Structures are given as structure tokens and as C-alpha cells.
Amino acid sequence: MRFPQLVLAAVVGAGFVAAPAAAKDITVQMKNMGKDGMMVFEPAFVKAAVGDTVHFVPTDKSHNAETIEGMMPEGVAHTVGGMNQEMTLKLDKPGVYGIKCKPHYSMGMVALVQAGKPANIAAAKTVKLPGLAAKRMTPLLAQVK
């Protein structure tokens, strides 16, 4: 094979090498009423990749989004979104991220995001949540694979 053909073969072959997937932007709505009842995040469970970004958008007023202490990968800082403001969560580490709306936490307004491998799932399952929040979080935790 001559040099120009070798270079062409290398360039064409390089195009078939798997490139890393582009990070995704995922939107979760904060709603007064949704398919699962009152005071919900939709979707309540998100399976994402490390590197993706989740945007919690206040579709209805009087909501915020913030992480739940003990339900985040090790080394991830607690994040608190403002009332009636979008909260952005960059998924830099693999694991599960528990999310709540502080004003409606006792009413069960929780969500769960899985980024890659759920390294912290055992710890997340030990976190004590108030009544309806625990009832809604249990099936979300069961979706983690």
C-alpha cells in the first residue's frame, strides 16, 4: 500500500471509532398537578448518563428543587434552587441524586435521578423521609438498575 492510500485508510478508519456520546440536557417539570397526583416532579425518575444536566423547571408557581441530604454521590455539594426558579443539576459523578421541593416535601414532592452506576444506592435507601415523601420515593428507588 502506498503512503497516500495508507493515510486515507487511517482517516476513514478513524471515523468508525466510537466517539463519546454528547451530554444531554434533560427537563423535569415541577407541577401542582400531574399524572401521579398533586405536587409532583415530572418525570419523577430520570435515568441519565454522567455528564448530563438536569433542569428542574417550575411549570407552576410555589416550587423549588433541592438535593436531599444523604441521597447524593459522595463529594457532591448540597444544591438548593430558589423559589419559582429553575435549578440546574450537573451530573458529574455516578450515583443517585434525591431531589425534593422544600415547601411540598411532606406532601411527597420528590424525584430521583440516576447517573450511570448507582454507587450510593445502599446509602440513599437508608435516608429517612417524611410520610408521603417516603411512600413516593420507594418505587423510584426500585427503578434503579
Q: Which positions make up the binding site for Cu cation?
A: 63, 101, 104, 109
The CA distances from residue 120 to 22, 92, 95, 113, in Å, are 25, 14, 6, 12
CA distance linking residue 133 with residue 27, whole number of Å: 21
Residues in a beta bridge with 45: 112
Q: Binding site residues, as ranges? A: 63, 101, 104, 109
d(CA 105, CA 132): 8
Q: Taking Cα atoms as reference points, which of 61, 49, 139, 133 lies closest to residue 99? A: 133
- In the three-class reduction of DSSP (H, G, I as helix; E, B as strand; rest coil), residue 34 is classed as strand
